[in-house]
């Protein structure tokens, strides 16, 4: 998974930012990290907003990646049902959002 890391203080970001919020450095480096993590929580969206209704219902998940960064994404519709602390892996990215699947 691609993340962004401050060159000066090593603060990590899931999305590209123009300046590090921790040290105000403007040099952020694209860094590849493991696609695996642990499921922290999730919610099922049943009444999706406009533009997402085709996918409803779908699960929005919060994942702690093995690198220590917490990210938000979606759970693949082909995934087995989620459970707290389940191991997950990013399988793809759609429109900048990671799609995860529970690892058995």
Q: Tell whether 22 and 50 lie within a shared domain.
A: no
Q: Tell whether 74 and 92 lie within a shared domain.
A: yes
- pLDDT (0 to 100) of residue 50: 82
Instruction: Find the length of the chain.
Output: 104
Mean pLDDT for 15-29 is 95
| CATH of residue 41 | 2.40.50.840
- pLDDT (0 to 100) of residue 22: 97
- Give me the chain's average pLDDT, please: 94
CB neighbours (10 Å) of residue 17? 13
Q: Tell whether 51 and 85 lie within a shared domain.
A: yes
Q: Tell whether 27 and 39 lie within a shared domain.
A: no
Q: What is the pLDDT of residues 24-74, one digit of tens each?
A: 999 999 999 999 999 999 999 998 888 777 778 999 999 999 999 999 999
Q: Tell whether 43 and 94 lie within a shared domain.
A: yes
The enclosing H or E element of 65 equals strand 58-65
- How many distinct structural domains can be found in the chain? 2
Contact at 8 Å (CB) between 15 and 104?
no
Q: What angle do CA 92, 93, 99 make, to 5 degrees?
A: 65
């Amino acid at each position: 998974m691609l993340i962004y890391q401050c060159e000066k203080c090593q603060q990590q970001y899931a999305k590209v930012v123009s300046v590090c919020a921790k040290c105000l450095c403007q040099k952020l480096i694209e860094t590849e990290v493991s696609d695996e993590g642990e499921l922290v929580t999730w919610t099922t969206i049943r009444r999706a907003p406009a533009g997402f209704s085709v996918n409803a219902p779908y699960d929005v998940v919060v994942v702690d990646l093995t690198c220590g960064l917490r990210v938000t994404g979606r759970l693949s519709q082909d995934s087995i049902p989620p459970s707290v602390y389940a191991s997950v892996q990013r399988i793809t990215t759609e429109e900048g959002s990671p799609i995860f699947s529970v690892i058995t």
